[in-house]
Amino acid sequence: DSTPVLDRQSRQESNARSYPRRIPLVLERASGIYVQDSRGQVFIDCLAGAGTLALGHNHPVVMEAIHAAMSSNLPMHTLDLTTPVKDAFVQEIFDSLPPAFARQARIQFCGPTGADAVEASLKLARTTSGRQNVLAFQGAYHGMTLGTMSISGNLGPKNALGSLLSGVQMLPYPHNYRCPFGTGGEQAIDLNLRYIEQLLSDPESGITAPSAMILEPVQGEGGVIAAPDRWLQGLRRITQERGIALIVDEIQCGIARTGKMFAFEHADIIPDIMPLSKAIGGGLPLAVVVYREELDVWQPGAHAGTFRGNQLAMAAGTATLRYLKQHAVADHAHQMGERLRAHLLKLQSAFGWIGDVRGRGLMLGMEIVDRDGEPDGQGHPPVHTARAKQFQQACLQRGLILELGGRHGATVRLLPPLIITDAEIDFVATILFAAAAAI
Ligand code: PMP
């Protein structure tokens, strides 16, 4: 019986816990896309450690790499000292980069969270430019440290903290459905770029010489919003012309999830700095920053962190990256993403309260709306958070774990393991339809 465990947890665990409140399960076992709870019920895991489990739970290739590392008398922990396992991991990361980036890249190991890799990216941009200000985007999510919250959008927790980093300018992110310029489409891309260029040219904006611009090519926590390629190309040009470091946060959308190894590759651009975490450790904690070698001006001790040398995570990460490349998993993620998107579009035609279907590859979302509410400037109905929560619960009852995100938590987010099959995608869709019909 899982009830005593859940009761005890809710008494003992901090109020800041989030997932167990909405997904009150005691998970005991897992394999591939499936997890099993203490009552024996099986669930499809379309959260997958917030996108961390590219190959799903306990993939044999990853397990084998971890077991091999554990039985080889490896040093368990080495700070950032060199080991053969680390060397193999670094080679694998470089082999995963587009050649034009790999030829001139450096890697820095970080404390093992995504947030730490973003902090390191901001510090590197400040150190190389001697400047401090940062451009970031509305709706962004870069982590939960004071620095990363300063450049993120989620206002509730952020405002509760008081002063954060100064010199941060939040800019509009191109959102076709809730367009900040009220137009959507190609016109919005031009308006957005023009707005940013104007800001950078006008001394009165106070932000003419920022150190960096940081963005997610697909906003995840912000509601699964994919940036248009042409916009990313425009930002690459603008930042290059002005000597602003372009930091592309691939922590969630990178590592084959959107149908390319890195999401920036869709736009055929190269970032200056790229923080990576989540899937690169094959499910174990690991984070790095990859950046252009000209930026490598910092000195020993400029960025450290005790757990930079997690050998098991590097072994699991190497096995994951190799598998992804050998089995063309990025292409598979693209195909499965298109299959899932087709199901979501059918769901949208059947249920009027699904306002928007969006995302890229296997990073997809649906915005839940209230057709009876007052439409916005573009004629779209307001979000319906309560219905999104109901839908999440109805899916959970039918054996599907998914998460909510975006403004007001009204976007349903689907982040399945990338090894999901045709039949499993269709099964996810069956559950989505049944859940939608039941609420
Ligand atoms: N950046 C992005 C794009 C993320 O999605 C996340 C985590 N959801 C982070 C940074 C922060 O990573 P971590 O939780 O490991 O600090």
d(CA 347, CA 17): 32
- Tell me the pTM: 0.98
221 lines ligand 1 (CB under 6 A): yes
pLDDT confidence of residue 351: 98
* Span from the CA of 252 to the centroid of ligand 1 (angstroms): 7
d(CA 406, CA 220): 8
pLDDT confidence of residue 211: 98
| CA-to-CA separations, 335 to 349, 360, 362, in angstroms, rounded | 22, 11, 9
Substitution candidate for ligand 1 out of 252, 262, 264, 288 with most atoms within 8 A of CB: 252
pLDDT confidence of residue 21: 84
Q: Which of 236, 284, 422, 266 is nearest to 330 (CA)?
A: 266
pLDDT confidence of residue 251: 98
Q: Which of 191, 188, 181, 175 is nearest to 137 (CA)?
A: 175
State phi, psi for 248 to the nearest 5 degrees. Answer: -105, 110
State phi, psi for 176 to the nearest 5 degrees. Answer: -65, -35
Q: Which distant-in-sequence residues (6+ apart) come within 8 Å of 16 by Cβ?
A: none
Residue 111 exposed, middle or buried by CB count within 10 Å (0-12, 13-18, 19+): middle
pLDDT confidence of residue 76: 85
Q: Which of 18, 19, 1, 20 is nearest to 9 (CA)?
A: 20
Structure tokens at 287: 């984070």
Report the SS3 class of residue 49. helix
* Angle, helix 311-326 to helix 60-70, in steps of 10 degrees: 150
Domain ranges (residues) in the chain = 3-58+330-438, 74-326
d(CA 32, CA 390): 27
Report the SS3 class of residue 147. helix
**Per-residue burial over 407-437, b = 16 or more CB atoms within 10 Å of its CB, e = otherwise:** bebbbbbbbbbbbbeeebbebbbebbbebbe
141 lines ligand 1 (CB under 6 A): yes
CATH number of 74-326: 3.40.640.10
Could you tell me the fold of the domain covering 3-58+330-438?
Answer: Aspartate Aminotransferase, domain 1 (3.90.1150)
Whether the Cβ atoms of residue 277 and residue 251 lie closer than 8 Å to each other: yes
* Span from the CA of 432 to the centroid of ligand 1 (angstroms): 27
318 lines ligand 1 (CB under 6 A): no
pLDDT confidence of residue 432: 98
pLDDT confidence of residue 19: 84
Q: How far apart are the first and last CA of the chain?
A: 28
What residues form DSSP beta bridges with 274?
A: 290
Residue whose Cα lies nearest atom 10 of ligand 1: it is 142
Structure tokens at 222: 């912000």
pLDDT confidence of residue 20: 82
Q: Which distant-in-sequence residues (6+ apart) come within 8 Å of 320 by Cβ?
A: 54, 55, 59, 61, 62, 255, 279, 280, 281, 282
* Span from the CA of 276 to the centroid of ligand 1 (angstroms): 9
409 lines ligand 1 (CB under 6 A): no
152 lines ligand 1 (CB under 6 A): no
pLDDT confidence of residue 16: 86
State phi, psi for 57 to the nearest 5 degrees. Answer: -80, 135
Report the SS3 class of residue 138. coil
Residue whose Cα lies nearest atom 2 of ligand 1: it is 142
Structure tokens at 160: 């509760």
Report the SS3 class of residue 337. helix
Report the SS3 class of residue 394. helix
pLDDT confidence of residue 154: 83
Residue 228 has what DSSP assignment? P
Whether the Cβ atoms of residue 158 and residue 148 lie closer than 8 Å to each other: no
- pLDDT tens track of the chain, all 439 residues? 778 898 998 889 888 888 888 889 999 999 999 999 999 999 999 999 999 999 999 999 999 999 999 999 989 888 989 999 999 999 999 999 999 999 999 999 999 999 999 999 999 999 999 999 999 999 999 999 999 999 999 888 888 999 999 999 999 999 999 999 999 999 999 999 999 999 999 999 989 899 999 999 999 999 999 999 999 999 999 999 999 999 999 999 999 999 999 999 999 999 999 999 999 999 999 999 999 999 999 999 999 999 999 999 999 999 999 999 999 999 999 999 999 999 999 999 999 999 999 999 999 999 999 999 999 999 999 999 999 999 999 999 999 999 999 989 999 999 999 999 999 999 999 999 999 999 9
Whether the Cβ atoms of residue 227 and residue 193 lie closer than 8 Å to each other: no
pLDDT confidence of residue 155: 84
For 328-399, list the strands marked E by DSSP. Answer: 354-360, 363-368
Q: Which distant-in-sequence residues (6+ apart) come within 8 Å of 172 by Cβ?
A: 137, 138, 180, 181, 192, 195
Report the SS3 class of residue 15. coil
Closest ligand 1 atom to Cα of 221: 5
What ipTM was assigned to the predicted interfaces of this complex?
0.99
CB atoms < 10 A from the CB of 67, how many? Answer: 12
